[in-house]
Structure 1
Amino acid sequence: MITDIEGRSAAEIADSLRTLIERGALRPGDALPSVRALAEHLGVNRNTAVSAYRQLTNAGAVVTRGRGGTLVAGAAAVAQEGFAAGTALRDIGTGNPDPSRIPDPSNALARVAGRPVLYGEPVIDPDLAAWAEAWMGGDLPAGCDPRLTVTSGAADAMERLLAQALTRDDAVALEDPCFLTSIHTVRIAGYRPVPVPVDEEGMTVAGLRAALEQGVRAVICTPRAQNPTGASLTARRAADLRAVLREHPYVLVIEDDHYSLLSRLPYHSLIDPDHRRWALVRSVSKFLGPDMCLAVTASDPETAHRLAMRLTPGTTWVSHLLQRLVHALATDPDVSARIRAAGEHYAARNERFAGMLTAGGIPTRPGDGLNVWVPLGAPARAVSEQLMRRGWLARPGDEFALGERAPSERLRLTVHELDDADLQKLSDDLVASVSAVRANAEPARAAG
């Protein structure tokens, strides 16, 4: 098989291997040559072979197993947000907002119908633009000169932002653990994810500095309600991160403020007035519902121009009916009150559950956002299996990890739809599950 692989550059070698995989000459589970063997066969530098395999790994075409070598990847299921299909278990891993807390758009729908919008008209509805300028501009440093772009949700904005600035195999700094959509966007596009650890104050300074030293060309950060941890940047941490970024003014900084109007915490930005490439992205999906596929991006003029070039009127623009509906809801005082109440509800339920776990011997901070990031002191997958036996479907932290590392000892749980009785039952079951995993581990350690 090694004789069929061709190429002198990393891209050529990766394309050759991809062709062999697509044609069925290489099948899922097949082992690829070692880096040394491949480099010797092709007469290239070892680093060229490493780069080729890395490109294929980032694209999901191959998987690395350490000493087990590099294998052709199978059609493994990819973790996604949302309800798990076909389960009789109580699903507490969805990451969804409470549907009863999403404002009803029925009344607003009747008001937004108007004259048809035709080819060649402005991509952004004027009323939405005026509202968004106030919504976004107030949280950006003076002198940033923001320009607005509307996309079909935050994931669409992220993909476009990265595509207009990067090429395949460019490095991108991502929070670790990381939001699932960000992981998918970076890997599918063939960029190289560089993990930056997250602590209780958000993205760490040492982690960002190390990522920049590795040559990342973009940084994606969640200022508030980081998913999955619930961490939010403090004023001190944001200032320290800005100081690090001042030495890299042309690195694209993307802030994903997905929780925005639901958050009880202030917004602290990484964006310095003198930074040259930046974007703040805010979607409406958490407070108006995931089906409202709309996000507003405020960015520097050059980035905004490049984004606008990819939003052709009549084909890839965002429906003006949807834009008008979002504006009608966002400016309705009753809807605004419902959004504030929803944010208070999510915080109260998470705090209630965290208190129950802490009282049960699992100290837990509620954080901010739709989920609770629970420290277990035991492998998360084993605990989640114990929870399944007790009727719960949980989401282990391993799904949010970047790269290979020790098994996660965290669960990300979505509990805001549970009443007090169900919260207490889940807390008791989780405590029992952790105890069972630890008890099962004792004989294994003794035998070892």
Structure 2
Amino acid sequence: MSDRITGSTAAEIADSVRALRDRGILLPGALLPPVRELAATLGVNRNTAVAAYRQLAQAGLVLSRGRAGTTVAGIEAVAQEGYAADTVLRDIGTGNPDPARIPDPSAALMTIASRPVLYGEPVIDPGLEEWARRWMAADLPDADFRITVTSGAVDAVERLLAQALMRDDAVALEDPCFLASIHTVRLGGYRAVPVPVDDQGMTVDGLRAALDAGVRAVICTPRAQNPTGVGLTAQRAAELRGVLADHPYVLIIEDDHFSLLSQRPYESLISEDHRRFALVRSVSKFLGPDMCLAIAATDPDTAERLAMRLSPGTTWVSHLLQRLALAQLTDEDAMTTVATAGAHYAERNAAFAARLRAHGIDVAAPDGLSLWVRLPRPAREVAEHLMRRGWLARTGDEFSLDDRADPSHHLRLTVHDLTDAEADTLVADLVAAAR
């Protein structure tokens, strides 16, 4: 293959490889020539060939696998949240809220009709902005922040990273990690630096190591961490803020996705003196995933940059959608439904966790929509046994940032919608499979 690649500069060599890829001569997975071989063939300095491969890697066109060589990148299938497609099994790995516990929007829909919003008008509904500012100020009391509305939390995180980073910049992610955050970082061409999570949230040593490695952004889930369900304790949050005190310009993104449903207090990494931050709260878990709306409270500079990232594309989130969210967020009956739902998820998860602990199976803190269950044997083996009993479970391997890590011993189970009889059956099957 080295005889087909041409060029005398790094840019020319990279363009040649890209052209071969675009014409289908180099297919995904194809192994590129070693640097020394390519440099000798082209009669260029070895550093020129190294620079060409680096440009291709930063553009996401090739994958560097160390001693295994450099291969042409392809589009790989990735795990997604939600129901599995085309299965007759009972799906217990969805991470979905209970549709029966999402407020009915019918009445609110009747109240949102108004005059059309035209180009050039304010992009945020004034009523929603006022409500959101009060909501965020309760947890960011000393911060100077601005409100931005995005098309969901994942959209907010993607745009926040894009306005702050370049390809190959490093981002600190919790490990194990929320699937959407993994995909967002990888597809953006950033480098994920794993920070271990224990029963109090991100570890102090892990965050310190990530900062020493040069991360420019930290994505943290302050409560109901997905997939583990853990939340930051006050002590851990204070310790992490202490570590971040020497890095005021590292972008902190807090994804408080469970917000109104959580039974735990909000603890934050964002200190009064931190210069770059974003607290993101989606309405998806309590008003429904199809709402596709999130509120971001950010420092003023980040708000300006985020607005610029919105301007060429989406520009703004539909005012009809904003008014619908506001109508439900300010409706007493709707908020009662949300509060009841939060208590229901906590009660059902706690009851299922108690069933498992009675059989000697460890379960992490049950906050969120799912449970993180530790098993005495690799989770994939247990999941295979459960499939033969009619259950489709999700293993912890999907949430790991390290493809070379040992097999996970965890399952993430969504069980809040099971009846007591179904829960008893699943526990019996799980115990049998774990043995």
Please indicate the TM-score interval, normalised by the length of the shorter structure: over 0.9
Residues 320-359 of structure 1 show CA distances to partners (whole Å, capped at 9, x for unaligned) of 0110000000011111111011011111111111111111
Judge which range, 303-312 or 391-400, deviates more: 303-312
Give distance in 2, aligned partners of 1:54 and 1:37: 18
Match for 1:289: what amino acid?
A: G
Match of 2:406 in 1: 406
Aligned length: 431
**Compared with structure 1, are the counterparts of its residues 361 and 7 closer, same or farther at alpha carbon in structure 2 (3 Å cutoff)?**
farther
Judge which range, 362-371 or 350-359, deviates more: 362-371
Q: How does 1:185-204 map to 2 (within 5 A)?
A: 185-204=184-203
Q: Contact 1:39–1:49 (CA<8 Å) still a contact in 2?
A: no
Q: How does 1:80-91 map to 2 (within 5 A)?
A: 80-91=80-91
Match for 2:257: what amino acid?
A: H
- Give the structure-2-normalised TM-score: 0.93
Match of 1:78 in 2: 78
Match of 1:440 in 2: none
Give distance in 2, aligned partners of 1:219 and 1:253: 5
Match for 1:44: what amino acid?
A: R
Q: Contact 1:60–1:187 (CA<8 Å) still a contact in 2?
A: no
Question: Secondary structure of the residue that 1:307 maps to in structure 2?
Answer: helix
Match of 2:285 in 1: 286
Residues 204-231 of structure 1 show CA distances to partners (whole Å, capped at 9, x for unaligned) of 1111111111111111100011101111
Give distance in 2, aligned partners of 1:257 and 1:204: 18
Q: Contact 1:141–1:271 (CA<8 Å) still a contact in 2?
A: no
Match of 2:242 in 1: 243
Question: Secondary structure of the residue that 1:172 maps to in structure 2?
Answer: strand
CA deviation after TM superposition for structure 1 residue 367, in Å: 2.6
Give distance in 2, aligned partners of 1:200 and 1:425: 28
Q: Contact 1:13–1:52 (CA<8 Å) still a contact in 2?
A: no
Q: Contact 2:396–2:409 (CA<8 Å) still a contact in 1?
A: yes
Give distance in 2, aligned partners of 1:168 and 1:235: 34
Give distance in 2, aligned partners of 1:387 and 1:157: 36
Match of 1:216 in 2: 215
Match of 1:112 in 2: 112
CA deviation after TM superposition for structure 1 residue 80, in Å: 0.5
Q: Contact 1:173–1:220 (CA<8 Å) still a contact in 2?
A: yes
Q: Contact 1:132–1:296 (CA<8 Å) still a contact in 2?
A: yes
Residues 129-172 of structure 1 show CA distances to partners (whole Å, capped at 9, x for unaligned) of 11101111110141x11100001111111111111111111111
Give distance in 1, aligned partners of 2:353 and 2:64: 37
CA deviation after TM superposition for structure 1 residue 307, in Å: 1.1
What fraction of aligned residue pairs are identical, expressed as a percent?
A: 66
Question: Secondary structure of the residue that 1:310 maps to in structure 2?
Answer: helix
**Compared with structure 1, are the counterparts of its residues 3 and 193 closer, same or farther at alpha carbon in structure 2 (3 Å cutoff)?**
farther
Give distance in 2, aligned partners of 1:261 and 1:14: 49
Question: Secondary structure of the residue that 1:254 maps to in structure 2?
Answer: strand
Match of 2:131 in 1: 131
CA deviation after TM superposition for structure 1 residue 378, in Å: 1.4
Question: Secondary structure of the residue that 1:128 maps to in structure 2?
Answer: helix
CA deviation after TM superposition for structure 1 residue 11, in Å: 7.7
Match of 2:154 in 1: 155
Match of 2:371 in 1: 372
Match of 2:302 in 1: 303
Q: Contact 1:353–1:423 (CA<8 Å) still a contact in 2?
A: yes
Judge which range, 307-316 or 17-26, deviates more: 307-316
Question: Secondary structure of the residue that 2:368 maps to in structure 1?
Answer: coil
CA deviation after TM superposition for structure 1 residue 4, in Å: 3.6
CA deviation after TM superposition for structure 1 residue 35, in Å: 5.5
**Compared with structure 1, are the counterparts of its residues 241 and 366 closer, same or farther at alpha carbon in structure 2 (3 Å cutoff)?**
closer
Match for 1:338: what amino acid?
A: T
Match for 1:25: what amino acid?
A: I
Judge which range, 289-298 or 351-360, deviates more: 351-360
Give distance in 1, aligned partners of 2:19 and 2:401: 27
**Compared with structure 1, are the counterparts of its residues 384 and 53 closer, same or farther at alpha carbon in structure 2 (3 Å cutoff)?**
farther
Give distance in 1, aligned partners of 2:163 and 2:327: 31
**Compared with structure 1, are the counterparts of its residues 136 and 408 closer, same or farther at alpha carbon in structure 2 (3 Å cutoff)?**
same
Question: Secondary structure of the residue that 2:110 maps to in structure 1?
Answer: helix
Question: Secondary structure of the residue that 2:327 maps to in structure 1?
Answer: helix
**Compared with structure 1, are the counterparts of its residues 375 and 300 closer, same or farther at alpha carbon in structure 2 (3 Å cutoff)?**
same
Match for 2:176: what amino acid?
A: P
**Compared with structure 1, are the counterparts of its residues 219 and 7 closer, same or farther at alpha carbon in structure 2 (3 Å cutoff)?**
farther
CA deviation after TM superposition for structure 1 residue 303, in Å: 0.4
Match of 1:96 in 2: 96
CA deviation after TM superposition for structure 1 residue 422, in Å: 0.8
CA deviation after TM superposition for structure 1 residue 377, in Å: 2.3
Question: Secondary structure of the residue that 1:108 maps to in structure 2?
Answer: helix
Match for 1:180: what amino acid?
A: L
Match of 1:43 in 2: 45
Question: Secondary structure of the residue that 2:270 maps to in structure 1?
Answer: coil
